[in-house]
Structure 1
Amino acid sequence: MAEATPGQLALINALEAKRGAWKTDIDKFDAYLRGKQPLSFLSDEMREEFGDKITDLVINWPQLVVDTYENRLDVEGFRFPGESEGSEELWAIWQANDMDEQSMLGHVDALGLARACVIVGAPDDPDAAPIITVESALDCAWTRDPRTRKVTAAMKRWTGGDDGKTDMLSLYEPERTTTMSKGKTGWNVDEVDEHGLGVVPLVPLVNRPRIKYPDGFSEIEAIIGLADAANKMATDMMVSGEYHAMPRRWAFGLKRDDFVDANGALKNAWSVIKGRLWANENPDVKVGQFSESDLKNFHDTIRLLAAMVSHLTALPPYYIAFEGGNPTSADAIRASEAPLVKRIERKQVAFGATWEEVMRLCMLIVGGEVPDGAEQLETVWRDPSTPTVAQMADAVTKKAATRGADGRPLIPTEQARIDLGYTPAERQLMTEMERDSLALDPVNAPYLQAPAVSDGAGVS
């Protein structure tokens, strides 16, 4: 077992530094997504008085924002330039790796934690599909070329080995992947895969990249302060509900000895208990109650914070409001969702570039080269807007029924099905159903077997 070279150790140290620099922010964002963040804006006096007795009330707006965005990010296929239908070969690779589910996990991590990544590898069986896995940025790191911003090296860390406790890592480079385990004297090389791809088989999945910050920012970073304020107000509201929202009683002229039972034993009557009748024969005793507090100020403050979150995240107001405020019509729904839809379309462009690069890596592993036109590969996304089924069907039907000067419909049947949101598998099944139906038709069946005859201008 060979030890890691000085060059490999230097690269590992650089990647570990990058992973460590990300970890603090990622842990923080992860806590907010899970609703496990500590309560902020709580005074020292209140912390000292209540200690562990106070329970945080978390209004998890960060999770709402991430889930709302992710719910509209559905990959439906991959299409080469000039093709109306998606590539069946690439879709088969996608399905073989359960990428419907894995892509969802990657989108959630990228949106909430700023970044995730996708690793592509060759299978043990040469006839099987390439292996695609979505990984957490807590376990991975990568470096980029400062000029092209392309990934030049990457690493994944995990705990494994025969005992399940050994520190392991994979070092990804353009020509090889090296798997190592940590021994008593340092990193030891366990396996080297000389894949010779010429590119690092790890593709970052990044949210909100910028020129100087290509590894992005979390989508919830802008609303963390607002979420903290809302949780503080909600917690204060619950404390006020316990101590001020219910009437508080007062009594003058009573002594502790006045509270005894039939046997003369003292009763615990100095604590306020709802529903208990207070009575005393002393005519000088005066009793009463304080007015309860109105919690409206808490409601208004949380409502204001919700409106600010709505503005920053492009969520329609009725997504985040905590009282009735539904849109009055379908047009009102579309108008209120327009900023959100545009923001999701921007996410589709950025995330689509990652999935296209992943598919090009798969083609490189399968065929040894990237075919012509693959640089223009397009990710097919589901429409991020929310039109009703009736509205969409009506629009598509009108397009299919409209004919041009040559008598042909404006769009073919296959395009109509694509516009209606049917998946490639569903469209293929429909085509087979049509073919079977025609085969049973005695009028059209002979034409299914007849050879095409050319009239010189096209197929007759």
Structure 2
Amino acid sequence: MPQPAVQSPEWWRDRLYAALRRRSAETQRFDDYYECEHPLPHLHERARDPFRRLLRMSRANYMELVVDALVGRLEVAGFQSDVEGDADRAAWDLWQENNLDGGSQLGFLEAAIRGEAYMLVSPPAGSRSGVRITPEHPTQVITEAVPGEPGELAAALKLWVDDWTARLCCTVYLPDRIYKFSAPEPKYGEQPQWVRREVAGEEWGGRNALGDIPFGVLTNRPRMLQPGASELRSVTGIQDRINKTIADRMMTQEFAAFPQKWVTGMEIPVDENGQDIEPFDVAVNKILIAEESGAKFGQFAAADLTGYLKGKEADVHDIAAITSTPPHYLLGSMVNLSAEALKAAEAGLIHKIYQRRRFLEEGLERTMRLAGFGASSARIVWKSPEWRTEGELVDALVKMSTLGVPREVLWERWGATPQEIERWRQLSEDALSRAVGGDLAAGYGPKPEPAPTGAPAAGE
């Protein structure tokens, strides 16, 4: 079968499909770890089936905590523009119309788990009069940049299975055209047999109305020459260690935590076949009694679980150190911690959040530019990831106000969104206008200057 011409729609389809399948397979394990589908701790094959129940109980999902500690503080508050007009208000209205308070969180979550996620911008079509923006899963979308121009996308592919027809569908996006294909869903290891997907009322290879690849790429912790990476990349091995430690501890609890009893100085009864009979049914609510006067009872020491508990705690501290997650998030213990100690414990997480936001912001800004808002009119405003008491914050703002810092800046430092700041400014202006109007009506307005001494009075 002849190979498609380089950079033809079929060439991009096959190239991006292979890259998407490869990346999805590589990142699936991070998704499994986040969903607590960890590999069961290793045991000898003969022991796995009898102890499978204990192995399933041994999975403590610290990976979810690591991701949620980051994503929970990534929240877009609004947009800010440096141009005249209401561009920031229009951008925020578009954000709200597309339910992106929640949609952006979904994108941030998938980017933190798998390294990348996407925002698709669709121009007005049919009965929809406005631009539509939707979060897209990294197992369904992939993009490729122009060589030497990382910020300029050359092509993109969106892949999905049509629930109505059970066919595999894909759309290839090029800067000037859009091409649609479909194929019977292939068996494992087989390549799809693509054919053109005709849509009623559309020309195949129709014009790309945006004139650009319609995706904003949300990238997590990228590197030069490497794409985004999962937050869990460095700690899945430690999670496996924790699960193994918990499994060993549960085995010990199951078979050695209950102290074994012993008895001497008594005759062991036998059955009719001469086999020894266990003389006691040992339980925590029963008493052992022997008729022999020389019988002595005792018990072995219970198994010590301290080593298992300390080993697990040490591994959790490793996760906290590597991922900059505050230890009290993972250990669930806060004992007499001062505000300064809490702030110091979260300093690493706050720094990581600011770092991650820089790259996520690039994808969001590209998304808003595709939606019709230029870079100067769609600057992202984030909610502060730092938690402070109101007393600390008010004290700092009062001190800043004595230095002549404008009130709008103080409101922003307080954590107000651009929309709240605009509303507060309008309320202040309305209050000032009413106050000035009231003073004039009561005769407290500006009075005319008194005439100079010796000058004729007004009207003379």
1:250 aligned partner: 262
Counterpart residue identity of residue 314, structure 1? S
Aligned pairs for 1:311-460 within 5 A:
311-327=321-337, 329-363=338-372, 371=374, 374=375, 377-402=378-403, 410-441=404-435, 443=437
- Secondary structure of the corresponding residue to residue 233 of structure 1: helix
1:151 aligned partner: 153
- Gaps of at least 5 residues in structure 2 are 186-192, 442-460
Aligned pairs for 1:235-274 within 5 A:
235-251=247-263, 253-255=267-269, 257=271, 272-274=282-284
Counterpart residue identity of residue 307, structure 1? H
Counterpart residue identity of residue 441, structure 1? A
CA shift, 1:48, in A, is 5.6
Larger radius of gyration: 2
TM-score in terms of structure 1 length: 0.82
CA shift, 1:57, in A, is 1.9
436 and 34 in structure 1: CA distance in 2 versus 1, 3 angstrom threshold: same
Aligned pairs for 1:51-70 within 5 A:
51-52=52-53, 54-70=55-71
Q: How many angstroms apart in 1 are the aligned matches of 2:171 and 2:89?
A: 31
Counterpart residue identity of residue 268, structure 2? L
Counterpart residue identity of residue 250, structure 2? M
Match of 1:197 among 195, 210, 215: 210
1:95-114 C-alpha deviation (Å, 9 max, x unpaired): 11111101111111111111
CA shift, 1:148, in A, is 0.9
Q: How many angstroms apart in 2 are the aligned matches of 1:198 and 1:380?
A: 27
CA shift, 1:181, in A, is 2.9
Counterpart residue identity of residue 155, structure 2? A
Percent identity, please.
26
Is 1:275 matched up with 2:290? no
TM-score in terms of structure 2 length: 0.82
Preserved CA contact (<8 Å) 1:18 1:142: no
Counterpart residue identity of residue 136, structure 2? E
CA shift, 1:218, in A, is 0.6
CA shift, 1:267, in A, is 9.9
Greater displacement, 247-256 / 140-149: 247-256
1:262 aligned partner: none
1:430-454 C-alpha deviation (Å, 9 max, x unpaired): 234334434543645869xxxxxxx
Greater displacement, 79-88 / 115-124: 79-88
Preserved CA contact (<8 Å) 1:113 1:218: yes
Counterpart residue identity of residue 302, structure 1? K
Counterpart residue identity of residue 417, structure 1? W
CA shift, 1:41, in A, is 4.1
Preserved CA contact (<8 Å) 1:181 1:190: no
2:181 aligned partner: 180
Preserved CA contact (<8 Å) 2:78 2:419: no
Q: How many angstroms apart in 2 are the aligned matches of 1:9 and 1:268?
A: 77
204 and 230 in structure 1: CA distance in 2 versus 1, 3 angstrom threshold: same
Q: How many angstroms apart in 1 are the aligned matches of 2:144 and 2:240?
A: 34
Greater displacement, 391-400 / 220-229: 391-400
379 and 83 in structure 1: CA distance in 2 versus 1, 3 angstrom threshold: farther
1:189-231 C-alpha deviation (Å, 9 max, x unpaired): 3244412433210122111111121x21111111111111111
Greater displacement, 151-160 / 28-37: 151-160
Counterpart residue identity of residue 98, structure 1? N
Match of 1:309 among 313, 319, 341: 319
CA shift, 1:356, in A, is 0.5
CA shift, 1:39, in A, is 2.0
1:91 aligned partner: 92
1:114 aligned partner: 115
Number of equivalent positions: 418
- Secondary structure of the corresponding residue to residue 14 of structure 1: helix
- Secondary structure of the corresponding residue to residue 119 of structure 1: strand
